[in-house]
Amino acid sequence: MQEHEEKEVTNQADPQNIHHEDLALKTAAQYFGEELLPLLGITDNVRYVAPTENVTLEAKQMYQDFNYISTNNLWVHLEFESDSVTRKDLKRFREYEATTARTFNVAVITYVICSSKVKRPISSLAEGINVYHVKLIRLKNKDSDRLFACVKEKQEQGMPLEKEDLVSLLLTPLMSGNMGIGERIIKSLNFIQYASKTVTPIELEKMKAVLYTLAFKFLNKKELAEVKEVIAMTELGKMLVNDGFEKGLAEGKAEVEAKFVSIIRKKRTKGLDASAIAEELELETAYVEKVMALIAEGPSVSDLQIAQMILGQ
């Protein structure tokens, strides 16, 4: 059966639709690191989460996507890229590594989790006599059809689904396969819901939130409606439609919006005006101006509160 990759459907005019998979993967990394890393082929055994914010001597704040400290004190640095990896990205990752290594006196390996359709992302940067390398993990190389088949077979044999089985399902919308992304999300939600005893209620909600965020990223309004309609016809739908899907989708939107507010806030403190920030982030100037106005009106108001205000307008 010939494998194909679905066309990503996004509303380019809506700033919330940018890099949702990054946000989803960061959530997965935060709550399910022990299970997620082996699925990505990273063999280091992690002990706990490491800091992701470094302040250089120039008081420049550097926000990394995620850090783990392994059992041998090696730092595993994860960066999630939904677009093609560029030389500019590699320079940024190299700076992260150098600052982290110097600040904490540790060795660092950077893994770039790439969910774009680019088949051969660049992984090295040669400048002068130095060559910098990252380890690329391309999610499109993984087969969601095969994963679903393995999980279904395990379930049919009466074997309990482990936590790592459920975490692997969170990545299926970013993999390749013959099923549409909406269908993958529905199947993943069903597997996760009916294996809910495997994880804590908080972990279950976070798993759903990851899939809701990816649904909002990849599906247009019509497809979202179709997904909700299919879910509503199942036993799972009674739970999700009543207290989950709409709530999860709304929370996902607010979290994404808050991320943009946070970035705009940082750019604003550096003296950039609305047009410069909009150009740099590829956002509408009017949107940036609205965010900056709300920040100015209430400096102590949180990013999430400002995001909720914008969504409520």
The pLDDT tens digits for 115-153 are 777 778 889 999 989 999 999 888 888 899 999 999 999
What would the pLDDT profile of 74-85 be if each residue is shown by its tens digit? 899 988 887 788
Which residues have C-beta within 8 Å of that of residue 71, sequence separation ≥ 6?
44, 45, 46, 47
Examine the pLDDT at 90 and tell me if it is beyond 90: yes
* pLDDT > 70 fraction of the chain, expressed in percent and rounded: 79
What would the pLDDT profile of 4-34 be if each residue is shown by its tens digit? 444 444 444 454 554 566 677 777 777 777 7
What would the pLDDT profile of 231-265 be if each residue is shown by its tens digit? 665 555 555 555 555 555 556 566 667 777 888 88
**Positive or negative torsion for Cα 198, 204, 206, 208:** positive
- Rounded to whole angstroms, how far apart are CA atoms 123 and 90? 8
pTM score = 0.55
- Rounded to whole angstroms, how far apart are CA atoms 92 and 115? 19
Most confident listed range (46-50, 57-61, 67-71): 67-71
pLDDT of residue 97: 92
Q: Which residue has the higher pLDDT, 205 or 248?
A: 205
pLDDT of residue 126: 94
Q: How much is the average pLDDT of 254-277?
A: 81
Q: How many CB atoms lie within 10 A of CB 288?
A: 25
pLDDT of residue 299: 76
- Residue pair 158/191 in contact by the 8 Å Cβ criterion: no
pLDDT of residue 13: 42
Average pLDDT for the chain: 78
Token pair of 144 as six digits: 């969601």
pLDDT of residue 4: 44
Least-confidence region, from 118-122, 193-197, 207-211, 229-233: 229-233
